[in-house]
């Protein structure tokens, strides 16, 4: 019987790409990219308990979106870690899905990374972050950055992760219009792109005006193609643009979730209430970036 003390919990925070520049398509089919990823206090929660088999139980507001997916990243992460260390993948995992599925904020990748952290503890493994990132890379391009959940530059196909300098605290609003967008389809429809290497990473980003000025010179290259596939993304961005106190609005990852940065917490809260009221079918969450 599992006692309460045997249960290990892990938080899988949403990952937001403040900008995302896409370079050339490589021989492995992936694109080179450059991005600045940050993590917020909104996310999924996972619980791990000892079990003779590997099992996954789902609950939470977005559990239904996942049940349709046969190839769940959580199970793949458990199997990848077990294979890496040469032991059976045995654990009872519960995922409470609070983030919208296939939404550009790394929900599945954050869950997979949380599995690596959770099972490292459950199985009493002694693995470094570097080793966990190596396993993470086999699961998906966005999983390595979610291992430590620190603000980081992403390069390569996303797997080359370098922690960024401390970013300023800024209120953020996340908005998802309730449609799942396929990352593969968005990359396939890619049009104009900045390429990699145009960003000056030595720029100081320690104050809100510095960060906003830096981000305004960058973009999310996946935004136009995602918007073409899901025109509602344009509607979300228009709505964010007209919120009082907004400093920057943009899509994250391959969408459809968009974010806005605000100059004060009250403006972000007011925007959260306003958009939740006018679009009750949208997922709207006020949060903050920076440590
Ligand atoms: O690595 P992940 O499974 O998240 O990627 C999903 C799809 O997105 C890939 O199969 C590929 O088509 C596309 N992709 C890409 N370049 C990247 C990351 C993803 O072309 N750097």
**CATH number of the domain where residue 192 is located:** 3.30.70.890
Q: Is there an atom of ligand 1 within 6 Å of 31 CB?
A: yes
> In this predicted structure, what is the pLDDT of residue 60?
93
Question: What is the extent of the structural domain holding 42?
Answer: 4-163
What separation in Å is there between the alpha carbon of 140 and the centre of ligand 1?
8
- Pair 152, 178 in one domain: no
Q: Which of 83, 142, 184, 185 is catalytic?
A: 142
Point out the domain boundary residue: 106, 128, 163.
163
What's the pLDDT score for residue 6? 83
DSSP string, 171-226: EEEEEE-S----HHHHHHT--S---SS-S-TTS---SHHHHHHHHHT--BTTHHHH
What is the predicted pLDDT for the residue at 70? 45
pLDDT by 10s per residue, the chain, length 291: 556 568 999 999 999 999 999 999 999 999 999 999 999 999 999 999 999 999 999 999 999 877 645 458 999 999 999 999 999 999 999 999 999 988 999 889 999 999 999 999 999 999 999 999 999 999 999 999 999 999 999 999 999 999 999 999 999 999 999 998 999 999 999 988 899 998 988 889 999 999 999 999 999 999 999 999 999 999 999 999 999 999 999 999 999 999 999 999 999 999 999 999 999 999 999 999 997
Relative to the CA of 188, which ligand 1 atom is closest?
12
Atom of ligand 1 nearest to the CA of 141: 1
pLDDT of residue 69: 53
Cβ(109)–Cβ(72) below 8 Å: no
Q: Are residues 127 and 189 in the same domain?
A: no
- For the question of residue 217 being annotated catalytic, the response is no
Boundary residue ending a domain (163, 185, 206): 163
Instruction: Collapse the DSSP code of 20 into the 3-class scheme (helix H, G, I; strand E, B; otherwise coil) and give the result.
Output: strand
Whether residue 37 contacts residue 14, with contact meaning beta carbons closer than 8 Å, is answered with no
Cα 35 to ligand 1 centre (Å): 14
- Please state, in angstroms and rounded to a whole number, the distance separating the CA atoms of residues 87 and 287: 39
Residues 244 and 216 in one domain: yes
Helix axes 129-137, 107-122, angle to 10 degrees: 130
Please check whether residues 108 and 185 belong to one and the same domain: no
The encoded tokens of residue 88 equal 């059976």
Same domain, 159 and 229: no
- Considering 15, 32, 97, 111, which one is annotated as catalytic? 15
Q: How many other C-beta atoms lie within 10 A of the C-beta of residue 22?
A: 22
Of 112, 142, 163, the position where a domain reaches its end is 163
The reply to whether 15 belongs to the active site is yes
Ligand 1: does its nearest atom lie under 6 Å from the Cβ of 107? Answer: no
267 and 175, same domain (yes or no): yes
Q: Are 101 and 64 in contact (CB under 8 A)?
A: no
Q: Are residues 67 and 85 in the same domain?
A: yes
What CATH number is attached to the domain comprising 8? 3.30.230.10
Q: Into how many domains does the chain fold?
A: 2
Would the pTM count as exceeding 0.85? yes
Ligand 1 pocket, residue 183 CB under 6 Å? yes
- Verify that 148 and 203 share a domain, yes or no: no
């Amino acid at each position: 019987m599992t006692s309460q003390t045997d249960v290990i919990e892990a938080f899988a925070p949403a990952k937001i790409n403040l900008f995302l520049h896409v370079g050339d398509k490589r021989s492995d089919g992936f694109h080179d990219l450059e991005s600045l990823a940050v993590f917020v206090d909104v996310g999924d929660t996972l619980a791990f308990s000892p079990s003779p088999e590997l099992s996954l139980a789902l609950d939470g507001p977005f559990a239904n979106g996942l049940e349709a997916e046969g190839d769940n990243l959580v199970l793949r992460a458990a199997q990848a870690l077990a294979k890496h260390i040469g032991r059976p993948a045995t654990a009872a995992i519960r995922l409470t899905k609070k983030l919208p599925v296939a939404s550009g904020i790394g929900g599945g990748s954050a869950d997979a990374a949380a599995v690596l952290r959770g099972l490292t503890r459950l199985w009493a493994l002694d693995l470094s972050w570097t080793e966990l990132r190596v396993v993470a890379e086999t699961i998906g391009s966005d999983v390595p950055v979610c291992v430590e959940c620190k603000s980081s530059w992403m390069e390569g196909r996303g797997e080359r992760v370098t922690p960024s300098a401390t970013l300023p605290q800024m209120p953020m609003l996340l908005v998802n219009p309730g449609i799942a967008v396929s990352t593969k389809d968005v990359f396939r429809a890619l049009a104009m792109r900045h390429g990699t290497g145009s960003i000056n990473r030595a720029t100081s980003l320690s104050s809100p005006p510095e960060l906003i000025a830096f981000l305004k010179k960058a973009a999310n290259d996946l935004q136009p193609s995602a918007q073409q596939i899901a025109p509602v993304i344009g509607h979300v961005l228009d709505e964010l643009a007209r919120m009082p106190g907004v400093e920057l609005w943009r899509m994250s990852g391959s969408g459809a979730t968009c974010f806005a940065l605000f100059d004060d917490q009250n403006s972000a809260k007011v925007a959260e209430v306003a958009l939740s009221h006018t679009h009750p079918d949208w997922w709207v969450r006020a949060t903050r970036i920076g440590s």
